[in-house]
Chains A and B, each alone.
Chain A
Amino acid sequence: MTPDTTLHLTDYLFYFFALLAVFSGGVVVFSRNIVHSAFALMFTLFAVAGLYVLLNADFLAVTQILVYVGGILVLILFGVMLTNKIVDVQIKAGSIHVLPASIITAVIAGTLCGVFTLTDWFVVPGADASAVKTTAPHIGEALITNYVLPFEVASVVLLVAMLGAAMIARRERKK
C-alpha cells in the first residue's frame, strides 16, 4: 500500500504547530528580555499541546495545558514580572558555559536524531483518527498497575520539592 502523500489539513496543522514550537522555543532561549522568554514559553507549550492533539493523545494535550500553561507558567511569569518590578534592575538573560552546554546539547541532539532514524516507526496505514477512543482510562489503569512504582516515586519527589520550597521561604522570612 503506497502512503498517501497529499497534504491534508492535519498535515498543515502539524507543520504549523511544529514550526511554532521550534520558533518560540528559540525565542525562549535566545531572547535577552526574560519577560519575552516567559511569554514565548507559553506559545511553545501550546504548540506542543497541539502536537499531542494531532497524535490523538487527548488526555496528554489537555493535561499539558492544565499543568504547564495554567499552573507552572503562571508562576514563572509571575515571578519574572514581580522581580522585574520590585528590583529596579532589568534582569538580563546571559549566556555562560557555552562550550560544555554546546557539547551536552550536541550529544542529546545526536541521540535524538539516532533514535529518530533507527526506530522502526509503527505506522497505521489510513488510520481513522476518530476511531481512536479516549486515552484517559488506559493511562489511569497503567498508572496504578504496571507503573505504580514510578508513580509513587514521582509523588515522593514532588513532596520533597514542596517541603524544600517551604523551608526556603520560611528561612527568608526570619531574617
Chain B
Amino acid sequence: MNIIEPLVKIALILLINLTTVAYLVYTERRVSAFIQNRVGPNRVGPMGLLQPVADIVKLFFKEDIVPTAANKFVHSLAPLISLIVALSTFAVIPFGNTIHLFGRDIKLMIADVNVGLLYLLALSSLGVYGITLSGWSSNNKYSLLGGLRSSAQMISYELSMGLSIIGVLMIAGSLQLDKIVVHQGNYLGGFLPAWNIFLQPLGFITFVVAYFAETNRLPFDLPEAEPELVGGYHTEYSGMKFGLFFLAEYANMITASAVITTLYLGGWQFPFIENFGFSPLAVSLLQVAAFGVKVALVLLFFIIVRWTIPRFRYDQLMNLGWKVMLPLAVLNIIITGFFILV
C-alpha cells in the first residue's frame, strides 16, 4: 500500500488551506473596507499583503489567559475540535479529476469514501461541539448563551441542509462525491452544463442558506453577536486559542465554499473543455484551476453577504429555519421526485 501519496496530498491541502485562510482574512478586511468606503489594511508590505503574517505573529505573542473557574481540559479541547472538524471535511472533497503525473494515476482527493455525502453531514454536525463546549467550559454567562444559541441554530438548520442534499442525491444516485461531480459533467440541451444549481435552484438556495447558518457567518452569527453577547462563545479565549477559533471559522468558510462548489456548481468540471483539444495533463490542471476559481467566487460571495445583510433576531432565525427553510427543502424533494418520475 502506498502511503506517501495520501500524505503528500494531505500536506498540500493543509498548506493551501491555511494559506488561504490567512489571505481570506486579508481579503475580507479589504472588501469590507471597500464596501464601507474605507481603505483597509495597506501598511504592512505592498498593498498590505503582509498583514496576515503580522496578525499571526501578534497572536503568538499574546498572553494565553484561562479563567480560574473554567474547566481547563474542555476549555483547551474546544478550539481544537472546531479546527479539526473544519479541516477534516476536506478529506472527501474532490478537487480535480484523476491526473496522470510521474507515470501514475493520481486521484485528486484524499479519501474516496463511498458515503462521502453523509460524511460531510456527520462532520458538520460535530462542529457544534467546539462551540457548545467552549461556551460551557468558560464559565461565563455570555459564552454559555452563545453556545446555547449556536446549538439550537445548528440543529435547526442541519435538518434543512440534510433535506436539501437529498435532492442532489436523487439526481446523482450516489453518495460518492466524485460520482456526483462526474454526473454534473453532462449538458442540458447541449449548451447548459448540467450543474445541480440549474437542476435544483430551490435546493441550492436552501442549502446555501443552511450552510451559512452552519458556519455561523452573518446574517446568522448569533452565537457571537457582539452587541448582545460581548464575543459569544469565545469571550473567554485569548492568544492562540482564540486564534484557533478564528482559523476554524475561516477554514469552515473555505470548506463550505468547496462543498457548495462540489454539490451544486459542478465541482472541478470545466464546461466545454473537451472541445478545445488540450492535452490530458492540461485538461486536468485546468479542471483544478476551475475548482479553485469557483471556490474563490463563493468565498467572495460569503464576504459580500456578511457586509451587506444585517443580523437576524433570534425568533426570526428560528422562524426562518423551521417554518420557511424546512418546508421549502421538503418541497424541493417532492419536485425532484416528480421530475425524476416523469
Name A residues whose Cβ lies closer than 8 Å to a Cβ of B: 39, 42, 58-59, 62-63, 65-66, 69-71, 74-75, 77-78, 81-82, 85, 133-136
Nearest-neighbour CB distance to chain A for B69, whole angstroms, equals 12
Task: Point out the residue from B114, B144, B155 that lies within 8 Å of A136, measured CB to CB.
Answer: B114
Q: Which residues of A contact B113 (CB under 8 A)?
A: 58
Task: Point out the residue from B114, B122, B144, B176 that lies within 8 Å of A66, measured CB to CB.
Answer: B122
Q: Contact: B118 with A74, CB < 8 Å?
A: no
Nearest-neighbour CB distance to chain B for A82, whole angstroms, equals 7
Q: Chain A interface secondary structure, helix, strand, loop or mixed?
A: helix
A62 to B116, CA, bound (A): 9
Nearest-neighbour CB distance to chain B for A8, whole angstroms, equals 11
Selecting from B128-136, B259-267, B323-331, the interface stretch reads B128-136
Q: Contact: B132 with A77, CB < 8 Å?
A: yes
Nearest-neighbour CB distance to chain A for B170, whole angstroms, equals 12
Q: Chain B interface secondary structure, helix, strand, loop or mixed?
A: helix
Q: Contact: B175 with A66, CB < 8 Å?
A: no
Task: Point out the residue from A39, A85, A134 that lies within 8 Å of B115, measured CB to CB.
Answer: A134
7 A-B pairs in the complex with CB atoms less than 8 angstroms apart: A58-B113, A66-B125, A69-B122, A71-B155, A74-B129, A78-B148, A136-B114
Q: Contact: A62 with B128, CB < 8 Å?
A: no
A116 to B148, CA, bound (A): 44
A55 to B176, CA, bound (A): 19
Q: Decide: A70 near B115, CB < 8 A? Known: A85-B144, A134-B175.
A: no
Closest-by-CB residue of A relative to B176 is A134
Q: Contact: A78 with B115, CB < 8 Å?
A: no
6 A-B pairs with least C-beta separation: A70-B125, A134-B114, A66-B122, A62-B118, A65-B122, A81-B136
B35 adjacent to chain A (CB < 8 Å): no
Task: Point out the residue from A65, A78, A135, A136 that lies within 8 Å of B126, measured CB to CB.
Answer: A65
Which of A63, A74, A85, A134 has the most C-beta atoms of chain B within 10 angstroms of its own C-beta?
Answer: A74
